[in-house]
Homo-oligomer: A and B are copies of this chain.
Amino acid sequence: MMYGLYGKLTAYEGKRDELAAVLLEAAQSMEAVDHCFLYVVNVSETEPDAVFIYEVWRDQSAHQASLQLDSVKTLIQNGKPLIAGMERMSILNPIGGKGLSK
């Protein structure tokens, strides 16, 4: 079963764009990770300090494994000083739709 996450990262004041750049780098590194189907970085006018990530994985173990990748570990380190808060808004099972390569 596919595994999806929708989460919110709140940046320290004035650090949202810097955090978004780190997460875009994370998304870039996912290009080489076959079992990551989607990793989309979003901002929001209604929450100017937040960065939202919508990600879809082949399954939960694929997501789990990605946390061990050096590239991901480095990005987590880079992001930490910018992050005031983290919220996992939804744990999902994507079942299909446009743009979801299975």
Contacts and interface: CB of A to CB of B under 8 A. Distances in A.
Interface string A41-77: 1111111000011101000000000000000000000
- Binding site of A, secondary structure by majority: helix, strand, loop or mixed? strand
A82 interface: no
A13 interface: no
Given A27-B98, A30-B98, A93 B39 contact: no
- Chain A contact-residue range equals 35 or more
Contacts of A100: 38, 40, 99
A77 to B, nearest CB: 20
B89 A40 contact: no
A61 to B, nearest CB: 16
Interface of A: 4, 6, 20, 23-24, 27-28, 30-31, 36-47, 52-54, 56, 89-101
